[in-house]
C-alpha cells in the first residue's frame, strides 16, 4: 500500500473515532509498527493529527472545548500516567484525609495505594468502587452524575465539599497554561475541582507532558495553587510558577 493511501485511511479512522492506536492501525493496514509510527510522525509534522503515546488524536484548536469520553481517555499515555500515579500514591501517609478527583490518572493512583489508615473522599464513581474494593475507608460526595466521565458534579457536590478539610488532594486537568492556569472543558467539573482545591492543604495536579501549553474553556485553579506531578517537561518557564515534581528525574 502506498504511503498516501495509508495516510488517507489513518485520517479517515481518526475522524471517525477521534483517536487511533498504533496496535490497531498495524492490524487494520496490515503493516509494521515502525511504518505506522513513521506515518503518524509525518502526519503530526503536517499538522493533520496530534501524536500521543501509543497513537494519535484529532488536532484541536488552542482551546479544547470537548471532554473526551472516559474510555478514550483511559487508553492514552497509559505508561506515563502509571508512573505519575505510582509516585502520587507514595505521598499518602498515616492519618491523611485525602481527596481523589475523578479522572483517568487519578484513578490509577488506587492501584498503588497502600495506606489503610488514611480516609479517602472522591467525586468519581469508579474511584469510589475501587477504593471500597481495596478495603479503604471511603466517602463519595453527593450531587449530579455526569455520565460521560462518571463524575459527581453540580451545586450539591460543591456544598458537600464545603464540610471537608483535606490534608492532600490529587486532581486531573485537561490543560496547563502559564497564563490561564489549570483548565477543563466542563463548567460543572471545573467548579467542583475549584472548591476541592480550596479545601485542600496540599493539592497535586497529575499531568503527563501532553497537557502542558494546552488550554480548555474553564480555569479551575491558577498554576501556583497546586504542585504539578509529571514525568518530565520541556518548557522550563513553569519552574518559576510552581513546584514541579518530574518523576523520571527522581
244 touches 230 (CB < 8 A): yes
Distance CA 140, CA 42 (A): 45
Classified by CATH at the fold level, domain 3-59 comes out as Arc Repressor Mutant, subunit A (1.10.10)
> 72-249 domain in CATH 3.20.20.450?
no
3-state secondary structure of 117: coil
Distance CA 203, CA 168 (A): 6
pLDDT at residue 47, as a whole number:
81
Distance CA 118, CA 163 (A): 18
φ/ψ region of 150 (left if φ > 0, alpha if ψ in -120 to 50, else beta) reads: left
pLDDT at residue 70, as a whole number:
47
- Residue 19: count other Cβ atoms within 10 Å of its Cβ: 22
Grid coordinates of 2: 502506498
Helices (H), 97-140: 104-112, 125-133
Residues 6 or more apart from 154 whose CB is under 8 A from it? 143, 144, 188, 192
pLDDT at residue 163, as a whole number:
96
Q: How does DSSP assign 156-174, residue by residue?
A: HHHHHHTT--EEEEEE--S
The residue to which cell 504511503 is assigned: 3
234 touches 213 (CB < 8 A): no
Instruction: For the chain, give every domain's residue range.
Output: 3-59, 72-249
Distance CA 63, CA 65 (A): 6
3-state secondary structure of 149: coil
Per-residue pLDDT tens digits of the chain, which is 250 residues long: 789 999 999 998 888 877 888 999 999 999 999 999 999 989 988 888 888 777 888 775 445 555 555 444 455 578 889 999 999 999 999 999 999 999 888 999 999 999 999 999 999 999 999 999 999 999 999 999 998 889 999 999 999 999 999 999 999 999 998 888 999 988 999 999 999 999 999 999 999 888 898 888 899 999 999 999 999 888 888 999 999 999 988 7
pTM of the entire predicted model: 0.73
pLDDT at residue 76, as a whole number:
54
Amino acid at each position: 500500500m502506498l504511503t498516501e493511501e495509508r495516510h488517507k485511511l489513518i485520517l479517515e479512522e481518526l475522524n471517525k473515532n477521534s483517536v487511533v492506536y498504533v496496535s490497531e492501525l498495524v492490524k487494520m493496514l496490515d503493516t509494521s509498527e515502525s511504518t505506522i509510527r513513521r506515518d503518524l510522525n509525518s502526519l503530526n509534522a503536517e499538522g493533520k493529527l496530534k501524536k500521543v503515546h501509543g497513537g494519535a488524536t484529532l488536532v484541536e484548536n488552542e482551546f479544547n472545548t470537548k471532554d473526551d469520553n472516559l474510555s478514550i481517555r483511559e487508553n492514552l499515555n497509559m505508561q506515563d500516567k502509571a508512573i505519575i500515579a505510582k509516585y502520587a500514591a507514595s505521598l499518602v501517609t498515616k492519618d491523611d484525609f485525602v481527596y481523589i478527583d475523578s479522572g483517568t490518572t487519578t484513578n490509577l493512583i488506587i492501584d498503588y495505594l497502600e495506606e489503610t489508615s488514611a480516609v479517602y473522599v472522591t467525586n468519581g464513581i469508579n474511584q469510589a468502587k475501587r477504593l471500597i474494593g481495596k478495603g479503604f475507608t471511603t466517602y463519595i460526595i453527593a450531587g449530579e452524575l455526569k455520565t460521560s466521565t462518571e463524575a459527581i458534579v453540580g451545586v450539591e457536590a460543591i456544598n458537600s465539599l464545603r464540610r471537608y478539610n483535606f490534608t492532600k488532594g490529587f486532581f486531573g486537568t485537561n490543560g496547563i497554561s502559564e497564563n490561564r492556569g489549570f483548565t477543563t472543558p466542563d463548567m460543572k467539573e471545573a467548579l467542583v475541582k475549584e472548591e476541592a482545591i480550596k479545601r485542600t492543604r496540599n493539592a497535586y495536579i497529575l499531568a503527563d507532558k501532553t497537557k502542558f501549553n494546552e488550554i480548555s474553556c474553564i480555569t479551575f485553579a491558577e498554576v501556583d495553587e497546586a504542585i504539578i506531578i509529571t514525568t518530565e517537561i520541556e518548557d522550563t518557564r513553569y519552574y518559576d510558577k510552581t513546584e514541579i515534581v518530574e518523576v523520571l528525574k527522581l
